Structure 1
Amino acid sequence: MEIRIKWGYKTPKGTETVFHSEEMPAAKALLLAEDLERTGRVKNLAFIDRYDSNWSLKELKKYLKGIETEPHNITVYFDGGFNPGTNASGLGCAIYYEQSGKSYRLRRNAAAAEHLSNNEAEYAALYLSLQELELLNVHDMPVLFVGDSKVVINQMDGDWPVIEVNLAKWADRIDGKMKKLGIQPEYELVPRKNNAEADQLATQALNGIHITGTIEMLKE
């Protein structure tokens, strides 16, 4: 979860002002806030998430303690490929997350034959990632979804209307799964070169190469 710190400051002579930090991971914000409090000059310290909800220091500590053993700080890369000559689709997702003080990467792909377009394959890849999150027991958690499909990212983010009937069905299906899991989605559109891992997984699925597995990401 990304969060901002807001705090009041008072000089020894009584001059006061209010500061706002840049957005940062919640764990980092907690460390900085505790250090600020040790100065003895901080007042009305609060944390603000991306939904403009306010958290107290006590609430943030409780939240971070509660998610230590659950997957958190989750970023999902997804991509779908489509072969119009065969109507075959390849779906891929790479999920990065932290759990119990360690970092992990999950990769998964799948082949499909029932889609009608590349856009539908992209939606199916997003849904595949949600199925993997469900298997990880991810719930009541913010998740960042990263993709290179302008259609899927802009439609799921609410910037573009979903006009095509088959895509609307996928969007509704995905929204339903999000609500079931309590996922608070954030979407990021990136160039294809920045989504190379998910793209490769989708291409491998199209070529009949099945990939699934999770590894621990060791710190350098």
Structure 2
Amino acid sequence: MILKMEIIYKTPKGTEVTFHSDEMTPEKALLLVEDLQKTGRVKNITLYDQHDTTWTVKELKKYVQSLEEEPHNIVVFFDGGFDISSSNSGLGCVIYYEKGKKQYRIRKNALVEELNTNGEAEYASLHLAVNELETIGIHHMPVTFTGDSQGVINQLNDEWPCYEEELLRWIERIEAKVEQLGITPEYKLIPRKKNREADHLATQALSGVEIYSNSELE
């Protein structure tokens, strides 16, 4: 969740002014609210999220406490590869998340035989990642999905049209699952060199090497 603040500030002589903050995490918002309240000059603070839902400080504290026990701050990397000679596809995804003030990483890949193009493999790798989010209990959270396929990212952001029926079916599957989980997605395009982990997992899948790990990071 991303928050903004509307702050009504009052000087000792009674002059009032309203400030609007930049976007911030719930944890940062709580720190700032507590600091501002110590001044004794804040008449009112309104907190609201990206859906324009308002939050009280009490509600926000409860929400932040709940995050300690649930996965949050989730970033997904995905990549797919298609081997023309074998008609096999390799899917790879890496999921970073935090839980209980610790950071974790999931690495997962899969070899599939029923796809026909590299574009389908890219979408299938993202679908693999979304299904894994469901497995670890991600729901009603913002999630950043990052990939190096310009077509996939731009189509999911509704910046490019998609005319291929096979890809449209994948888009529908992904969007249906994301909506079912209550995930607020952000799709970001990254350079290929920053997607090496997911790319390597997809390559390993094509080589017949199956990978799955969920480990705590130092």
* Length-normalised TM-score, structure 2: 0.93
Deviations 1:45-79 (A, max 9, x none): 12233334332322222222233211111111111
CA–CA separation in structure 2 for the residues paired with 1:163 and 1:6: 43
SS in 1 for 2:39: coil
| Deviation >4 Å, runs of 4+ | none
- Please state how far the C-alpha of 1:17 moved relative to its aligned partner: 1.9
SS in 2 for 1:38: helix
- Please state how far the C-alpha of 1:121 moved relative to its aligned partner: 0.5
Give aligned pairs, total: 218
Aligned to 2:99: 99
* Stretch moving more, 118-127 or 183-192: 183-192
CA–CA separation in structure 1 for the residues paired with 2:147 and 2:61: 32
2:145 is matched by which residue type in structure 1? F
- Please state how far the C-alpha of 1:128 moved relative to its aligned partner: 0.3
SS in 2 for 1:110: strand
Identity %: 55
Matched, 1:149 2:152: no
Map 1:103-142 → 2, pairs under 5 A? 103-142=103-142
Decide whether aligned partners of structure 1 residues 158 and 51 sit closer, same or farther in structure 2, where only a CA change above 3 A counts: farther
SS in 2 for 1:139: coil
Decide whether aligned partners of structure 1 residues 141 and 113 sit closer, same or farther in structure 2, where only a CA change above 3 A counts: same
SS in 2 for 1:201: helix
Aligned to 1:34: 34
Aligned to 1:176: 176
Gaps of at least 5 residues in structure 2 are: none
CA–CA separation in structure 2 for the residues paired with 1:43 and 1:151: 48
- Please state how far the C-alpha of 1:204 moved relative to its aligned partner: 1.5
Aligned to 2:18: 18
Aligned to 1:79: 79
* Length-normalised TM-score, structure 1: 0.92
SS in 2 for 1:70: coil
- Please state how far the C-alpha of 1:85 moved relative to its aligned partner: 2.5
Aligned to 2:159: 159
CA RMSD of aligned residues (A): 1.6
